[in-house]
Amino acid sequence: MRTLIFLLRKEFKQIFRDKAILAIIFVMPSVQLIVMPLAANYEVKKINLAVVDHDKSTYTQKLISQITSSGYFRLQSYNASYDQAYESIKSDKADLILEIPHGFERNLVRENKEKIFIAVNAINGTKANLGGAYLSTIISNFNNEIRMKLTVGSRFSQVPTIEIASSNWFNVHMNYRLFFVPGILALLVTLVGSFLTALNIVREKEVGTIEQINVTPIKKHYFILGKLIPFWVLANVIFTIGLLLGRLVYGIVPAGNIGLLYLFVGVYLLAALGFGLLISTFADTQQQAMLIMFFFMMVFILMGGLFTPIESMPQWAQIVTKFNPVRYFIEVMRMVILKGSTLRDVASQFIAVIVFAVFLNGWAILNYKKTS
């Protein structure tokens, strides 16, 4: 135990002596956690709309007014022909074209039906889908208003309607930041912990100090614990700072037990740091370690469920995500913080990260012994 204490003291001195490392550990994650949720969100707004109005009636003016006042669309141009509007899409000035035909109001009143045309710039599939859906919904609502107005006073005034009562659970105002911030915090803790562990040990290889340690009587497990524990502590500090920033900046108060979060983070970090340790046993230089970590981190981030729901991924991708430890961390963060889930609710995620921790650390220790 005394040997371990000496190793930990040496590691902490080495970490706190390097000012750049301190900035990486504490400042960069804090800035990212504050800035990223403000800049990146799931809402699609300010969709540029090009209108071709062949009718120029009262109804078309009301329809265009409803679309632009929704907050999702910005009237980019009012065109005399479809070809003119199409030039706006070709030059990326417009995302959608709404073409209203001649006799729109007359046909709607006399025949109770009319067609309008929507053309979407589908290069950005997400924006195109959401923009088209928003526009269709607004037009549908406008159509219902017209129908109600036309049928009032007639013998068909009793129009059957369905009233929908809805309730938003766990995120009453559907604030995307409540959903986004816990996921970003999970990523930042993973990135800092695993990267620093991998680079720290590889750096020992580069400067040759690991050779000196290997010839000392220090036991292997003391050496590994001496490398893991400092970054485990620092990652927990970053996690605490993240929770405080979430509370102060975004007003996020965990609905569940905060002790459960720390318990899960403690186990999860063993897996994340074990992964960094495993990478360090394969890499001989810091550049190699960085590139290998970058490869895996890209996969972990994009297939962790932060940006894309895992249920929406192809079946093969959903199977791959089962081998992604970040997925379980993001799930537990959202479940505990937003839903107030208990230990029983997150038991499967707990088991998964325990398996990851044992497997990754065990593999790293075995591999380290072979190469030492």
Torsion angles phi and psi, residue 25, rounded to 5: -70, -45
* Closest of 201, 234, 295, 326 to residue 23, by C-alpha: 234
Amino acid at 120: V
- Quick one: pLDDT at residue 160? 56
Report the distance separating Cα 193 and Cα 231, nearest Å: 6
Phi-psi label, residue 57: left if phi above 0, alpha if psi -120 to 50, beta otherwise: beta
Type of residue numbered 246: G
Find tokens 């292997």 and name the residue: 220
Residue 38: per-residue pLDDT: 81
How far lies 240's CA from each of 191, 235, 258, 336, in Å? 15, 9, 10, 15
Q: Which of 208-217, 239-248, 324-333 has the lowest mean pLDDT?
A: 208-217
Q: What is the pLDDT of residues 59-86, one digit of tens each?
A: 889 889 988 888 888 888 888 889 988 8
3-state DSSP call for residue 274? Answer: helix
Contacts of 207 (CB under 8 A, 6+ apart): none
**Whole-structure pTM over 0.95, yes or no?**
no
Strand partners, 100: 53
Contact 34, 245 (CB under 8 A): yes
Is residue 349 within 8 A of residue 330, CB to CB? The reply is no
Alpha carbon distance 270, 267 (integer Å):
5
pLDDT in tens, 140-186: 888 888 777 766 555 555 555 566 676 778 877 777 788 889 989 99
Q: How far is CA 101 from the centre of its chain?
A: 42
- Judge whether residue 213 has pLDDT over 90: no
Nearest to 177, CA basis, from 43, 298, 309 = 43
How many residues are given for the chain? Answer: 372
